[in-house]
Amino acid sequence: MPVAGRLTQLEKYYLKEQLNMEQLCLAKCNNYLNQIQDPALKSVIQQTRDVCQSHVNTLSSTLQQAGYNPQQMMS
Report pLDDT for 30: 97
Domain parsing of the chain, residue ranges:
9-66
Query: For the segment 41-75, what is each residue's pLDDT rounded down to a tens digit?
Result: 999 999 999 999 999 999 999 999 888 876 655 54
Residues 11-20: contacts with CB under 8 Å, at least 24 apart: 12/63, 12/66, 12/68, 15/59, 15/62, 15/63, 15/66, 16/63, 16/68, 16/73, 18/55, 18/59, 19/56, 19/59, 19/60, 19/63, 19/70, 19/73, 20/73, 20/74
pTM: 0.81
Nearest to 55 by CA among 63, 67, 65: 63
Report pLDDT for 34: 96
Q: Which residue has the higher pLDDT, 2 or 5?
A: 5
